[in-house]
Amino acid sequence: MNNDVIRCVAIDDEPLALDVIAKFCERIGGIELKVFSDPAEGLATVCREHPDVVFLDIEMENVTGLEIARKLPTDTCFIFSTAYLDYALDGFELDAVDYLHKPYSFARFKTAFGKAMRRIGVRHEEVDTASIVVKQEYNNVTIRLAEILYIEAMEGYVKIFREGGVCTLSRMILKNIGTLLPAKDFIRIHRSYIVNRAKVKSFNKREAVLVTGQALPIGRQYATEVSAHLSQNS
C-alpha cells in the first residue's frame, strides 16, 4: 500500500454512527472520509468514485446494507456494521472484510480497518501462480502451494495443513478447493484428504506416509489411481 490518503465512504442512516466513524478515522489519520445518511446517494458516490474502503450499516430504514453491498462494484472493499448479530453469515457470504457489532470500540474499529488495508494490499499485488488465496473468517489468506502438506475435509470447512505446523481453516468443501490446485502436484487419496504429491515419502494400498512421518488413509475407491500417480514420483 502506498502513502497516499485512504479514501473512505461511510453509509449509515444514524448521524451519531457516522460521527463515531468520522472520529475514529480522524484518530487513525491519513483518511479522507465522505459520510452519507442517504443510502442511495452513498451508493452512487461509491460507484462513481471507487473509494478504497466503504463502511456500510446493515439495518437502515428503507433499505438494508446487504442490498447495497450486492450493488457495489465487484472489487469494493467494505466493512459491515450493525447492532444485530444475525447478519454475520450474510456478511461473510458477501465477502465483507469484517463485521462491526455496535457499539464498537476504537480498538475494534482499528482492527477492522487494518484488515481492510491488508485486503487492498492483496488486491493490488500480482497474482502468484504458485499460490492460492482462501478465506479464513473475514481475511484473505495467501498460501504457497509448496508449503501445503495436505488438506482435510471437515463439516462445511477444510483444514489446510502447512509446513511449520501452520493450519488454515477455510469455509469451503474439499471438491471446490481441489479445483484451485494443479492436478500434477496434488491428488485426492480419500474422501476426506488431498495431499501434496511432493510431500509423500512412501505409500501402500492403505495409507500414504508424509515426509513429516504422518500417515493418512487411502480410500479403497482411490487406491488404484493413487498408486498409479504416486508411483511416478518414485
Domain limits of the chain? 6-124, 131-231
Selecting from 3.40.190.10, 3.40.50.2300, 3.30.420.140, 3.30.1370.160, what CATH number does the domain 6-124 have?
3.40.50.2300
Selecting from 3.40.50.200, 3.90.1150.10, 3.40.960.10, 2.40.50.1020, what CATH number does the domain 131-231 have?
2.40.50.1020
Burial group, residue 4, by CB count within 10 angstroms (0-12, 13-18, 19+): exposed
- In a structure prediction context, what are the per-residue pLDDT tens digits for the chain, which is 234 residues long? 444 688 999 999 999 999 999 999 988 888 899 999 999 999 999 999 999 999 999 988 888 888 999 999 988 999 999 887 665 555 556 778 888 988 999 889 988 998 888 888 744 444 445 778 788 877 778 788 989 999 999 988 999 999 888 899 998 889 889 888 888 899 999 999 999 999 999 999 999 999 999 999 999 999 999 998 888 765
